[in-house]
Amino acid sequence: MKNQHKLVLASSSPFRKELLKKLVSDFDAASPDIDESFKPNESPFQLSKRLAYEKANTLSSQFPHHLIIGSDQVAMLDDKQLTKPGSHENCVHQLSLSSGKVITFYTSICVLNSQTGESIVELDVCHVHMKHLSLEQIETYASLDKPYNCAAAFKSEGLGIALVAKIDGEDPNALVGLPLIKLTNILSEMGVEIL
């Protein structure tokens, strides 16, 4: 990789770290501490884009000569946000609500040059059509995959793919939490070629 800038992933997510390793082996990672709640009248895609930028920007003083990668995902079932369930009970509840419906994932990626202040933010939208699921299927899945730290309570990269009827999206990596196609394009715009 031809790169004079050191890359920083503004995330503590093990899923995002694994995704970034597909592109580059040498990067730092740090957890940004920000409020992730909606602002008044903010749409899901606006929230996702703002948080991706804020995550990157929060680390700019800590990493002053870096390209900082921030990403954020907002999962919506109609007008209800599906957050990380945190427990088995919440996981079963979310998946029961999602059965037979479409979940929309808004995943934003921001690359911030902390030296110049330049930033580029892009949004990936993915529609996940869930199968009609029995309570037994949901309970079994939740017990096996334990997706308690995943937005919308399933791991598309794991057993959760068995819950899905169809995925409409540009980049399967975006669903896991880091849109690598958009990231590669942004890095290229900033003078960093992966290959």
Q: Could you read off the pLDDT of 56-97 as tens digits, one per residue?
A: 999 999 999 999 999 999 999 999 999 999 999 999 999 999
* Average confidence (pLDDT) over 36-42: 91
Distance of CA 111 to the CA centre of its chain: 14
Write the CATH number for 20. 3.90.950.10
Residue at 126 is within a domain: yes
Residue at 1 is within a domain: no
- Among 131, 61, 128, 69, residue whose Cα is nearest residue 96: 131
Count of domains for the chain:
1
Which residue has better confidence, 4 or 145? Answer: 145
Catalytic residues: 72
Domain range enclosing 29 = 6-189
Residue at 123 is within a domain: yes
Distance of CA 145 to the CA centre of its chain: 18
Distance of CA 30 to the CA centre of its chain: 16
Residue at 194 is within a domain: no
Residue at 176 is within a domain: yes
CA distances from residue 35 to 38, 51, 61, 153, 186 in whole angstroms, order as listed: 9, 9, 18, 21, 25
Residue at 73 is within a domain: yes
Q: Is the pLDDT of residue 4 over 80?
A: no
